[in-house]
Amino acid sequence: MGTTRLIIVAVGGQGNLLASKVLGEAALLSDLPVRMSEIHGMAQRGGVVESALVFGDAESSIISDGEADVLVSFEPSEALRALNKCNIKTKVITSLSPVQPFTVAIGRGIYPEIDTMKKLLDEKTGGLISFDAVELAEKAGTVMSVNMVLLGALIQTGILPIPAENVKTAIQTTTKKAFVDINIKAFDLGFEAAQNAS
Amino acid sequence: MHKLLVDDPGKQLLLLGNEAIARGAIEAGVGFAASYPGTPSSEISLNLFQMSKESDLYYEYSINEKVSMEVTAAAANSGVRSLCIMKHVGLNVAADVLMTLAYIGVTGGMVILTADDPFMFSSQNEQDNRYYGKLAGLAVLEPSTVEEAKEMMTYAFDLSEELGEPVIFRTTTRINHSNAFVSFSEMKERKTKGEFIKDPMRCVTVPAVARGLHVKLLENLKKAEEIADKSELNRRSGKGSLGIICNGVSYGYVADGLKDLGITDKAEVLRIGFSNPLPKALVADFLKDKDRVLIVEEGEPFMEEAVKATAQENGLTLPIMGKSDELFSRLYEYDPSTVRGCIAKAFDIDYTESEVVDLTDVPEIPNRPPNLCAGCSHRAVFYEVNKAAKDMEMDIICPSDIGCYTLGFLPPLSTGDFVVCMGASSGTAAGFSTVNDKKVVSFVGDSTFFHSGISGLMNAVFNNHNFTYVILDNRITAMTGHQPNPGVDMEEMNFQGYNKIDIEEVVKALGVKHISVIKPFNSRKSIASIKEALDYKGVSVIIAKERCTLYAKSVKKLKGKPFQIVEDKCLNHRDCINELACPAFYLENDAVKINADMCVGCSICAQVCPENAILPVKTKE
């Protein structure tokens, strides 16, 4: 069995940890070993939340710089910030809807142009799938389902040996009952978006 | 039923390390647990607290780590299996208990869990608490994975009873906050009542007794070493003339690294899970047929020094490598590639790293430093203190404390000049105010006040110090995830059987003569009260009472409506952004806007705006 290393980055409050949990549960259903590591604590205070998921045959639960096989980002500038985790073969999936860092509002930083970011992400890695996940999440029913949209896109690529059905089952068992239908719709929309993008 | 209470051996769940540890304690038959919350250990406490509400398990949030160890020590000395949980720096607070409890020992199993935080993800230092094992003369256990953390709990309780001593269970953040599949095992029967058998010659540490107890402790330590030598927690794997000795999460990085380097047939690994006292006989046997040995351990060269001493005692002169300028650092946490690189270097193995991305032409990305939440009352208080001091032309020194409000040190609030440890803002305020001519205004949270801030305040009253002590009473222990503290109304949280301590009454009883209680979202009144307090010679206390916004949101008690900036009134002074730095503000075409999804309507910016341009969003009827 090989090893697949996935980094998920997001801004606090975007539901990164829930997305990781859903993937972990789906891996359990797929008999795919997984070790996950997360950094939280400051998560609800607007910082960056990073999860590392190591699938398959490995003992480590964290991922060194340059060693991610896949990078999933819920926000474009965070994808760029996480480029240090990537190598020239890393597949990158990102939402294009910006969440402006507060430092920009107080004049301590300039938010990069979306097109610049897209170009850099595409050129430097093993390929970029990018789309507006917020728009799709709203279409599914709530902006809070951005995380599920991106899971859909990730599963579509087939990089992880996890069938879509298992992720949907995990969504049913792991996410709040009132949101299950929306979350599954969001997952499907993300899946389609990745299909169209590639 | 709580998922960790389910008696279903073989059941497999995806668990957070801290959940696995809590489950391990339940499987070990723990009957009593106590802690003061601290990241990265907080979820162990949370799960035990929840389980105590639906079983006969006793769990308490103690007011600090010292007290939590005291209550636990007494339960364990009455024959009940007891667990005491804390973050690494918490053990400093409890160290006074620890050092002499080691002399007394226990009659029921007692495990002291210390969650170390290499890299300081959420801590003020990265001290290596294995040294507490050495200092106190106690056994130290260290799991390498989430699954093992659960399994090791039963071992730890058994070991504690075998030795008649508390056992230190040391984790690091990457165990506490990692997830993995964990299989449930049998649950031992939980015993929650015991009997204390009086034994003054063991339990009353007057000098004459303690002299004898120290002898007993050293005998126990010797016995612990014999057990460690044969322990299944110290295991050898692989074969070869190269040797690696490692502990904790480093084991995983070593295992992956040896595979990546293709030298699994050239190196033997000794994984140390029972790390104090060092299993010297086992280590000597491991060293004797090796050409070179590398020690892989995050933090201090704890094992390295002991391994080198063991080699010397056995007349072995092979190179033993570990911490050095060329190899491993004593700083921060390790990761797979660092460990792989050091193994390759130490053993002269050729290895080409994968080609990383060239980042030279990537523009600088604006940072997202953690910030006080939108609508956090701390921000209002910090603004008001600054405003009051400015109006009075007063230059102030602001010692602060450990909690969300530490973030006030960032500009523009800049109300944190000295932060050292829990509770220190009252003690340090006394020192600063004595030798400086500036006014001192110090800050503490409600939970930290109860934890240990109260002692410094008592000291300040007795010694007649001169400073203003601001207690930011947001009615919860916010930073670590909203745990209760003695000031909290537990009935409101639907928990029965608790009492409540009123901070104002406490402060009054301590003899503070100038006390004011403010509502931070009423800016004008608050500033007036703060000015009076600053003017007072002696100890003045301000209690700023307002519920934590994040907590209020989670229990659906937020009443405020979002505000907006009325464009034709706004003259773009930006006092709102510049003075408050609330994360709900953003810029659009160089105009300030308020994110209505984030704004909770605290209205403090509306009170700051010179044009009255910030008004509530009109809701359509």
The Cα A82–Cα A121 span in angstroms is 10
The Cα B458–Cα B448 span in angstroms is 15
Say whether B48 sits in a helix, a strand or coil.
Answer: helix
Q: Who among A45, A61, A64 is closest to B373 (CB)?
A: A45
Residue range A173-191, pLDDT digits in tens = 999 999 999 999 999 999 9
Q: How much is the pLDDT for B477?
A: 86
Of B587, B568, B567, give the one whose Cα is nearest residue B577: B587
Q: How confident is the model at residue B621 (pLDDT cuts 50, 70, 90)?
A: very low
The Cα B609–Cα B591 span in angstroms is 14
Q: Is A3 left (phi over 0), alpha (psi -120 to 50) or beta?
A: beta
Enumerate the β-bridge partners of residue A83: none
Residue range A103-155, pLDDT digits in tens = 887 778 899 999 999 999 999 999 999 999 999 999 999 999 999 999 999 99
Q: Who among A28, A64, A102 is closest to B583 (CB)?
A: A102
The Cα B119–Cα B249 span in angstroms is 14
Which chain A residue's Cα is nearest to B480?
A41
Cβ within 8 Å, pair A67-B337: yes
Q: How much is the pLDDT for B369?
A: 83
| Mean pLDDT along residues B490-509 | 95
The Cα B479–Cα B447 span in angstroms is 10
Contacts of A91 in chain B (CB under 8 A): none
Contacts of B372 in chain A (CB under 8 A): 45
Cβ within 8 Å, pair A36-B180: yes
| Mean pLDDT along residues B556-565 | 90
Residue range A43-73, pLDDT digits in tens = 556 688 999 999 999 999 999 999 999 999 9
| Mean pLDDT along residues B124-145 | 98
Q: Does A68 touch chain B (CB under 8 A)?
A: no
Of B9-23, B168-182, B376-390, B473-487, which gets the smallest average pLDDT?
B473-487
Express as a percent the part of chain B with pLDDT over 90.
91
Q: Is the pLDDT of residue A8 over 50?
A: yes
Interface of A with B in 133-192 (CB under 8 A): none
Contact (Cβ atoms closer than 8 angstroms) between residue B269 and residue B317: no
Residue range B317-335, pLDDT digits in tens = 999 999 999 999 999 999 9
Q: Residue B207: what residue type?
A: P
Of A85-94, A127-136, B74-83, B612-621, which gets the smallest average pLDDT?
B612-621
Q: Who among B178, B363, B583 is closest to A46 (CB)?
A: B583
Q: In the A/B pair of chains, how many CB contacts fall below 8 A?
A: 167
**A158 min Cα distance to partner chain B (Å):** 22
The Cα B269–Cα A21 span in angstroms is 32
ipTM > 0.90 for the complex? yes
**A70 min Cα distance to partner chain B (Å):** 14
**Mutation site for A-interface testing, chosen from B356, B361, B589, B597 by largest number of A Cβ within 10 Å:** B356
Cβ within 8 Å, pair A38-B178: yes
Cβ within 8 Å, pair A66-B356: yes
Cβ within 8 Å, pair B592-A105: yes
Contacts of B363 in chain A (CB under 8 A): 80, 110, 112, 116
The Cα B619–Cα B621 span in angstroms is 6
Contacts of B145 in chain A (CB under 8 A): 35, 59, 61
Q: How much is the pLDDT for A102?
A: 84
**B82 min Cα distance to partner chain A (Å):** 27
Domain boundaries, given as residue ranges, for chain A: 3-100+113-197
Of B90-104, B143-157, B587-601, which gets the smallest average pLDDT?
B587-601
Q: How much is the pLDDT for A40?
A: 63
The dihedral over CA atoms of A121, A124, A129, A134, expressed in degrees to the nearest 10, equals: -10
The Cα B585–Cα B598 span in angstroms is 9
Q: Is the dihedral of CA B449, B451, B452, B457 positive or negative?
A: positive
| Mean pLDDT along residues B54-80 | 98
Domains contained in chain B, CATH given: 3-229 (3.40.50.970), 234-346 (3.40.50.920), 377-554 (3.40.50.970), 563-616 (3.30.70.20)
Interface of A with B in 17-36 (CB under 8 A): 20-21, 24-25, 28, 33-36
Residue range B429-440, pLDDT digits in tens = 999 999 999 999
> Average per-residue pLDDT in chain B?
96
Q: Who among A38, A106, A125 is closest to B357 (CB)?
A: A125
Residue range A22-46, pLDDT digits in tens = 999 999 999 999 999 988 655 556 6
Q: How confident is the model at residue B492 (pLDDT cuts 50, 70, 90)?
A: confident
Q: Is B426 left (phi over 0), alpha (psi -120 to 50) or beta?
A: alpha
The Cα A6–Cα A51 span in angstroms is 8
Q: Who among B358, B365, B370 is closest to A80 (CB)?
A: B365
Cβ within 8 Å, pair A45-B407: yes
Residues whose CB falls within 8 Å of the CB of residue B259, separated by 6 or more in sequence, listed in order: none
CATH domain A3-100+113-197 topology: Pyruvate-ferredoxin Oxidoreductase; domain 3 (3.40.920)
Q: Is the pLDDT of residue B455 over 60?
A: yes
Q: Compute the C-alpha angle B380/B384/B387, nearest 5°.
A: 140
Contacts of A81 in chain B (CB under 8 A): 365
Residue range B253-283, pLDDT digits in tens = 999 999 999 999 999 999 999 999 999 999 9
Q: How much is the pLDDT for A143?
A: 93
Contacts of B369 in chain A (CB under 8 A): 47, 103
Interface of A with B in 43-62 (CB under 8 A): 44-48, 58-62
**Number of CB atoms found within 10 A of residue A16's CB:** 27
Cβ within 8 Å, pair B178-A36: yes
Q: Does A120 touch chain B (CB under 8 A)?
A: yes
Residue range B356-378, pLDDT digits in tens = 889 999 999 998 888 899 999 99
Q: How much is the pLDDT for B59?
A: 98
Of A103-107, B21-25, B229-233, B545-549, which gets the smallest average pLDDT?
A103-107
Of A103, A69, A101, A73, give the one whose Cα is nearest residue A86: A69
Q: Does A80 touch chain B (CB under 8 A)?
A: yes
What are the structure tokens assigned to B397, written together?
Answer: 């020194």
The Cα A94–Cα B42 span in angstroms is 32
